[in-house]
Chain A
Amino acid sequence: MVKYINRIVGKDAIRLNKMMTSFIEHESIVTTRKHAKRVVERFDQIVNTAKRQGVTPDAYRVYQKTLNDLPNSVKKIQEILLPRYQSRNGGYARMLRLEPRLGDNAPQAVVEMVDGNKEYKFWMAARVVARLRQQGLPVDSKTKAQVQQVTQGSPERADKFEEAVKEMTERFYPVPEKIQGSGPLPKKAGSGGKGYKHCPPPKML
């Protein structure tokens, strides 16, 4: 009989604590999808606890149960994460899917902090915008939506995004003529203007 549902105990708890600690240290980790989901949930809980209780003894009891490397991780939560997530009420971490792992074919995912310094969604959007600008193409609706998601309409984030676009241009697309395999995106009828919603048949290329 199942005594507790959704309670993480035993070796799972230990593994999750380790993953949470390295997630807080590095701001993005690659794991399998189930672990990634747990990390996302637990990160929300920890940040909310820190917001409510700070470093009171009660909060410290929570950190002791859920984190390793205590002084450093609590320091990072207090000094960096709390000011960063002051304006949010949840959804502090995000999970993006990856290809299955080589070897055991396990579905992988990357967990990243929203507004963190290793935000793949943000930099991917910046890279796409950089490519489109170098090629002189209009930004399509899907990329626009993604940019909107990562900047959240705030001017500070928009400035940061522009800097990221510049960096991406320097690193990946310095010469527009050398951009490989990325002509204008083919449009499929009925995709609602989303150029690359479906894999286009060869006649459209």
Chain B
Amino acid sequence: MALQLTKPFVAALSAQIPVAVSVTLAPGLLGGLFGGAQHDLDLETPSREVDLEQHKHEDCDHGIVYAVPKKKVSYGQKRKRFLADTKALKPLTNLNRCPACGHVKRMHTLCMHCFYELRSFFAKKTRDAESLVDKKQPPTLPAHDEAFIYKNKIDRPHYDKLKDTASYVLKYPRSQVYKKKDKSRD
């Protein structure tokens, strides 16, 4: 598409013939060049005249010539670039064993599984402590008041999906466990 349009320009330049080519500088031109829709070009509407003879010696190519790769990148070069050594996943060597649960964990960090267990343990402790303290009960409202105040609280069908957090919240996968070697096999 682009080549077809450039041909008359190139011919005019090489032949050194002063030709005034009228080019529509409407948005339709670029769209026709790159979008692949030639029939969108409206060449009949009056437009700004571009004299190529005037612009010949300037650094102006009218957006016709663009920088492009000189050669096709070969299959091997491409694969080399994609699968470079630096892009490969590196093996984790900073691993040790969680002293509480015996699974693999990173060194100098808490085991995430045990961390979450402890966190839920703390949460339960706080809940138990709070339940012991007598709380002020909110005053009971008459039925029509309650209906008015809480009228926006409606259980919609998609709320059930949202309540099922296990279906969409990311979770840490459980790490591997060290197992004792079966000595009878050796």
Contacts and interface: CB of A to CB of B under 8 A. Distances in A.
Interface of A: 28, 96-99, 102-103, 110, 117-118, 120, 123-124, 127-128, 131, 142-143, 171-172, 180-183, 185-186, 196-200, 202-203, 205
B9 interface: no
Interface string B160-185: 00000000001110000111110000
Contacts of B55: none
Interface residues of B, number: 30
B117 interface: yes
B115 A98 contact: yes
B68 interface: no
Interface stretch (B22-30, B79-87, B105-113): B105-113
B181 A202 contact: yes
Contacts, number: 79
Nearest to A184: B180
A120 B99 contact: no
Nearest to B93: A199
B183 to A, nearest CB: 11
Nearest to B173: A102
A110 B93 CA distance: 23
CB-based closest 8 A-B pairs? A182-B102, A181-B102, A181-B177, A102-B170, A97-B109, A199-B95, A128-B99, A196-B97
29 contacts: A28-B122, A97-B109, A97-B110, A98-B109, A98-B112, A99-B106, A99-B112, A99-B172, A110-B110, A110-B115, A120-B118, A123-B118, A123-B121, A124-B110, A124-B114, A131-B100, A171-B121, A180-B101, A180-B102, A180-B177, A181-B101, A181-B103, A181-B179, A182-B101, A185-B99, A186-B178, A199-B97, A200-B97, A200-B178
Contacts of A181: 101-103, 177-179
B99 to A, nearest CB: 5
Contacts of A202: 181
A142 B108 CA distance: 13
B100 A124 contact: yes
